[in-house]
Amino acid sequence: MKSDYNKVLIILFVLGINSSFVPKIYRSFIKVEKLNTNLKVLKEEKKDILKSINTYEEKKEKLNINYYKEEIARNYLKMVKPGEQIYKVIK
């Protein structure tokens, strides 16, 4: 009878310990999943930022070529050379 009582106490003790640790472990798994999700999002943002940096680096390198400098001056800044006439095609 006493050994059955000890077994029940041991089982209750083990269940008590498990009931205090299992929720903490579960919350830890949830936190890890959230962090992994955030990490994936941040890696995608990093890829996009690196891609835009490469694009701007290419544009910066093109500015060393006189043709592109002239193209920017004409198209974006609407500049013309002295004595030059601009014609616009109207559809």
pLDDT in tens, 16-64: 777 777 777 788 889 999 999 999 999 999 999 999 999 999 988 988 8
Task: Say whether pLDDT at 14 is over 70.
Answer: yes
Q: Mean pLDDT for the chain?
A: 85
Cα distance between residue 34 and residue 40, in whole Å? 10
Letter string b/e over residues 6-21, b meaning 16 or more CB atoms within 10 A of that residue's CB: eeeeeeeeeeeeeeee
pTM over 0.85: no
Cα distance between residue 53 and residue 20, in whole Å? 50
Task: Say whether pLDDT at 15 is over 80.
Answer: no
